Chain A
Amino acid sequence: MTNQTQIGEGLTQLELAEAIRASTTEVFSTMLGLELAVGEVFVEKEEAVPASGVVSIIGLAGAWVGSGSLSCSAQFACKMASHFLQEEYSAVTEDVLDTVAEVTNMVVGNVKTHLENRLGAMGLSHPHCDLWAQFSDPRRPQPGMDGGAVQLGWRADVHPDLRGAESGRIRAKRAPWIPHSASADGIDTRVE
């Protein structure tokens, strides 16, 4: 459950959640012709870990640093590519991985644009996408993402057979080497 907790620079969890929701639905609708029912955007504590699937991750840099990711079943990744490229895909190929990477780029890129209006200029790395036999446990602390990180996740209902497999998350924290005003530094950005 997200709320009005301040993340920093006047940005609330709720506002960030809405940006994630809007970006995800817009990208899926515009580029894939898939109408998502994005579930509640939530503050992650624990995450169901699929046994296998496609994971795409993209880095954020600037006054805030972090990452955005999209994970889904291989089946749904093929469905995404089939809609995106208007060709039928039944196995995870380079085209499928490229599609998931580009969708991640667009979803996170649009959230980044929203964040930049409040947090200043940010950079986006090139997405990396791969087929994983076993996801790493997202509950494990990520390097550099310990204290002070905001971590929001979301799940999307796409098809009853696929439900629960599609999810994404954005983790971000203020870059420690960027000086901030005393008032901004006074905000506890940790999410419990």
Chain B
Amino acid sequence: MPNVLDVLIVDDSAAIRKILQRVLRQTDIAVGTVYEAGDGAEALETLRKQKVGLVLSDINMPNMDGLELLTHLRAEPAWQKLPVVMVSTEGTHAKVLEAVERGASGYVRKPFTADQIKEKLVGLL
């Protein structure tokens, strides 16, 4: 585990990306650079250029959704163990199960509190 954790936030809402970034900075985790992507395709592009230690991703996004992103990530040996936490309004058991089956490391339902995000990350990292 590197001392400083670079993070990628994937959400089509700039507002949510901003909030998640703020929450990350409030944790005890030493967060380094926070990269942002508006959809799964942009996220893959970023990950090919930057090495990150954590991904927070929405599910419903244009172009490539979060579940498809997960499938791409877990198909690549370099990203198979990369922690990916889904942050989504999708709250049915079936959707959570699908995310876990595709390799999600954690799941936080929107709306979320800062504490929920922090607890999830502390448990994961």
Cβ–Cβ contact A98 & B15, under 8 A = yes
Instruction: Looking at the assembled complex, report how far the CB atom of B104 sits from the nearest CB atom of chain A, in whole angstroms.
Output: 17
Main secondary structure of the interface of B (DSSP, over half): loop
Cβ–Cβ contact B113 & A30, under 8 A = yes
Cβ–Cβ contact A109 & B14, under 8 A = no
Chain B 85-100 residues near chain A, CB threshold 8 A: 89-92, 94
| Residues of chain B whose beta carbon lies under 8 Å from any beta carbon of chain A | 12-16, 18-19, 22, 60-62, 89-92, 94, 110-113
Stretch of A10-18, A116-124, A181-189 with 4 or more beta carbons under 8 angstroms from chain B: A116-124
Q: A27-B111, A113-B89 are in contact. Are A102 and B15 (CB under 8 A)?
A: yes
Q: A26-B111, A27-B111 are in contact. Are A99 and B15 (CB under 8 A)?
A: yes
Distance of A112 Cα from B94 Cα, bound (Å): 13
Q: CB of A130 within 8 A of chain B?
A: no
Cβ–Cβ contact B90 & A84, under 8 A = no
Instruction: Looking at the assembled complex, report how far the CB atom of B15 sits from the nearest CB atom of chain A, in whole angstroms.
Output: 4
Which bracket fits the contact residues of A?
Answer: 20 to 34
Contacts of B91 in A (CB 8 A): 109-110, 113
Cβ–Cβ contact A31 & B111, under 8 A = yes
Distance of A113 Cα from B95 Cα, bound (Å): 10
* Chain A CB within 10 Å, residue with most, of B13, B15, B112: B15
Contact with B13, one of A86, A102, A116, A121 (Cβ below 8 angstroms)? A102
